[in-house]
């Protein structure tokens, strides 16, 4: 007598994949985390990533949407926020959200999700600050500031600029914030 086929619990498999991917992306970043490693850590077939999420980039974006408190991130000008973002990009490399600023993803759906996350996490909080402060063109100011910040972050991780790549994070953040602070 053969054993009946094991039933797959798709909701549980999705949860396991999200948790494993979130941990690996946080530890190693997007580029250095493989689909195989995510599947192994989750204890499920890595092929389920394509089935449930569409691919690694979509899984990455799904991990970003998990926020148990639903809290709005601080804006770039808040103490510690720029440092945390710059440190994260330096340690783990730029993910799909930062890359969406300079080159669209080949999958339009992934690009749209990355842009949405970019706005929710970086542009919108800064725009709200500029609006509260009564600055003109707050949306444009926020987009320019985020584009400049992301450019610095990507350039630092590329190693193209030696002094930028070697600069202490806090010193670099000080310079970036000095450049981004609105002139009154």
Question: Which tens digits make up the pLDDT trace of 72-117?
Answer: 788 999 878 889 888 888 877 777 788 788 888 777 877 888 888 8
CB neighbour burial string for 45-59, b if at least 16 within 10 angstroms, e if fewer: ebebbeebbeebbbb
Average pLDDT in the 111-127 region? 89
Sequence-distant (≥ 6) Cβ neighbours of residue 107 within 8 angstroms:
54, 55, 57, 58
The domain spans of the chain are 10-64, 81-180
- In Å, how far from its chain's centre is CA 140? 21
- The first and second tokens of residue 156, run together, are 């630092």
- The first and second tokens of residue 65, run together, are 């949407």
Q: What is the pLDDT of residue 61?
A: 79
Under CATH, which number does the domain 10-64 receive?
Answer: 1.10.10.60
User: Global pTM?
Assistant: 0.74
Q: What is the pLDDT of residue 7?
A: 56
Contact 127, 142 (CB under 8 A): yes
Q: What is the pLDDT of residue 136?
A: 94
Average pLDDT in the 155-171 region? 90
Residue 157 or 17, more confident: 17
Q: What is the pLDDT of residue 32?
A: 82
Residue 82 or 184, more confident: 82
């Amino acid at each position: 007598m053969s054993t009946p086929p094991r039933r797959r619990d798709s909701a549980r498999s999705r949860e396991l994949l999200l948790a494993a991917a979130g941990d690996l992306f946080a530890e190693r970043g997007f580029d250095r985390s493989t689909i195989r490693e995510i599947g192994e850590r989750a204890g499920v077939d890595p092929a389920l990533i394509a089935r449930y999420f569409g691919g690694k980039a979509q899984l990455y974006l799904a991990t970003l949407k998990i926020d148990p408190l639903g809290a709005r991130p601080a804006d770039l000008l808040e103490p510690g926020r720029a440092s945390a973002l710059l440190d994260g990009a330096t340690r783990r490399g730029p993910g799909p959200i930062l890359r969406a600023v300079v080159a669209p993803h080949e999958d339009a759906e992934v690009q749209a999700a990355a842009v949405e996350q970019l706005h929710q996490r970086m542009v919108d909080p800064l725009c709200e600050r500029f609006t509260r402060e009564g600055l003109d063109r707050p949306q444009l100011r926020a987009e320019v500031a985020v584009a400049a910040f992301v450019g610095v972050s990507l350039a630092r991780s590329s190693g193209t600029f030696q002094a930028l790549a070697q600069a202490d994070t806090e010193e670099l953040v000080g310079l970036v914030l000095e450049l981004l602070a609105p002139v009154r």
